[in-house]
Structure 1
Amino acid sequence: MTDTRHALVVRGGWEGHQPVAATERFLPFLAANGFDVRIEESTAVYADAAAMAETDLIVQSVTMSTIEPAELAGLRGAIEAGTGFTGWHGGIADSFRASSDYLQLVGGQFATHPAVGPGETRLEGEENFRDYTVNITDLGRTHPITAGLDDFDLHTEQYWVLVDELNDVLATTTHPAEAWQPWHRPHTSPVVWTRAWGRGRIVVTTPGHSLDVLDNPSVRTIIERGMLWAARTA
């Protein structure tokens, strides 16, 4: 590799997750760590074989939306060849819902974010904000992305995600079995996971609904360390 590494920031989709403002927060960090950063406002770049071949890290913030077959093939091919892939919240865990091949790639899909209980205050735009704890797993306590971090609390959407067994889970959260909910026992869902795909590394972080969550010191540390860990290693 050359001394300069190349990061590709791909953003778009649902504006409620503020993809531009959210990704702008991390551009100085990428530059300070030696990345030349290219920004694209659509996934069309994924179909550009030359651009993808020189990309060491993809940071994606595209909630929902759709992806063309050639774009997805380019994304998967780049990761298999060693390009890192990371993102947060719906920008990676709720992208391209109709694409089963994308869901297989990232190893998880947003299912819901349970609301607060009846009678509790529900501010407009915060109907699904809850107080919850992020628990670092045993693996997470030794992994470069989360080592040294303690369990921490958030007040935001608590993602319930559907995942598979290829993920290495670094942090979890538990959805309680509240009397008014239809499920009957607590459910533990991953909050941060990594995934090996070919020669590439994938990191998914589920908090990040709003800018204040991205500014949480623990969340920001996880995302930034995840970028460095995911970036091409050879």
Structure 2
Amino acid sequence: MTRRKALVVRGGWEGHRPVEATALFIPFLERNGYAVRVEESTEIYADAAELADTDLIVQCMTMSQITAEQMAGLAAAVVAGTGFTGWHGGIADSFRASSDYLHLVGGQFATHPGVEPCDRVGGEADNFLPHTISMTDLGREHPITAGIDDFDLVTEQYWVLHDDLIDVLATTTHPTRAWHPWHRPVTSPAIWTRHWGAGRIVVTTPGHSLDVLEHPSVRTVIERGMVWATRTASAS
């Protein structure tokens, strides 16, 4: 039986610990029969032959930049059936200058609201808020999230700008506070899938730090998402 091929592309902003974060999931892929290749830049996206032979791309590349050639290669691979997945800023806050990337993924990080201004001390914890990841009706039935109850986190809560071509498996709601400029609660997608050509995309927004990635529900969603996104027989 031919082994499935996974490509891990990591780098960008070091605050999201791209090496350590992806290292949490590479053993899972290997245990499940994937041959894993790791790249430290997006240059591989311009290699059409390599991507055509790749069943799954796991990206952890916060911010950073992508060339037009690399972006075209990534999009073409997904359209042809290569799965694409990742978590937090490694997929939802990548390549801010590329509208083509936003079009591919279907949602983009806008902000993560912080604690009350008088309580901020200048560290990353200023942006850690208690919040709930709430499963949608679709999420309660979907293979990625079935059997996972709503769960609570204290970490960055992503506010996401998105389109309606995504299939939302879980949401999170931003309340309104006296210091906020918005006037009613805002619900953002927290976990979603997207069908793009013959390819499948999965985005999981929790995952700022290693402890969040090791949360049982977050880790389960990411691992199931990698399997679900992988190229299907019909896309081969």
Q: TM-score, normalised by structure 1?
A: 0.98
Name segments (4+ residues, structure 1) moved above 6 Å.
Answer: none
Gaps of 5+ in 2: none
CA-CA distance at 1:121 after TM superposition: 5.9
Match of residue 130 from structure 2? 131
Match of residue 85 from structure 1? 84
Please give the alpha-carbon distance, in whole angstroms, between the structure 2 residues aligned to 1:34 and 1:166.
31
| 1:212 partner letter | D
Please give the alpha-carbon distance, in whole angstroms, between the structure 2 residues aligned to 1:161 and 1:4.
35
Counting only pairs closer than 5 Å after superposition, residues 163-202 of structure 1 correspond to structure 2 as 163-202=162-201
Please give the alpha-carbon distance, in whole angstroms, between the structure 1 residues aligned to 2:43 and 2:120.
42
Deviations 1:148-189 (A, max 9, x none): 000000000000000000000000000001122110000000
Aligned residue for 2:184, secondary structure, equals coil
Structure with the bigger percentage of helix: 2
Please give the alpha-carbon distance, in whole angstroms, between the structure 1 residues aligned to 2:55 and 2:127.
36
Match of residue 96 from structure 1? 95
CA-CA distance at 1:122 after TM superposition: 4.5
Match of residue 60 from structure 1? 59
Match of residue 216 from structure 1? 215
Counting only pairs closer than 5 Å after superposition, residues 22-61 of structure 1 correspond to structure 2 as 22-61=21-60
CA-CA distance at 1:12 after TM superposition: 0.5
1:156 paired with 2:160, answer no
Match of residue 5 from structure 1? 4
> Does the Cα contact within 8 Å between 1:133 and 1:151 map onto a contact in 2?
yes
Please give the alpha-carbon distance, in whole angstroms, between the structure 2 residues aligned to 1:23 and 1:149.
23
CA-CA distance at 1:28 after TM superposition: 0.5
> Does the Cα contact within 8 Å between 1:80 and 1:198 map onto a contact in 2?
yes
Deviations 1:55-82 (A, max 9, x none): 0000000000100111111100000000
CA-CA distance at 1:124 after TM superposition: 2.3
Deviations 1:99-122 (A, max 9, x none): 000000000100000001134364
Gaps of 5+ in 1: none
| 1:21 partner letter | E
> Does the Cα contact within 8 Å between 1:116 and 1:122 map onto a contact in 2?
no
Q: Percent identity?
A: 71
Deviations 1:41-97 (A, max 9, x none): 000000011110110000000000100111111100000000000000000000000
Deviations 1:17-48 (A, max 9, x none): 00000000001100011100000000000001
Aligned residue for 1:127, secondary structure, equals helix
| 1:145 partner letter | I
Match of residue 112 from structure 2? 113
Query: Residues 33 and 184 (structure 1 numbering): CA distance in 2 closer, same or farther, change over 3 Å?
Result: same
Match of residue 231 from structure 2? 232
Match of residue 140 from structure 2? 141
Aligned alpha-carbon RMSD (Å): 1.0
Please give the alpha-carbon distance, in whole angstroms, between the structure 1 residues aligned to 2:125 and 2:28.
29
| 1:218 partner letter | S
> Does the Cα contact within 8 Å between 1:85 and 1:230 map onto a contact in 2?
yes
> Does the Cα contact within 8 Å between 1:13 and 1:63 map onto a contact in 2?
yes
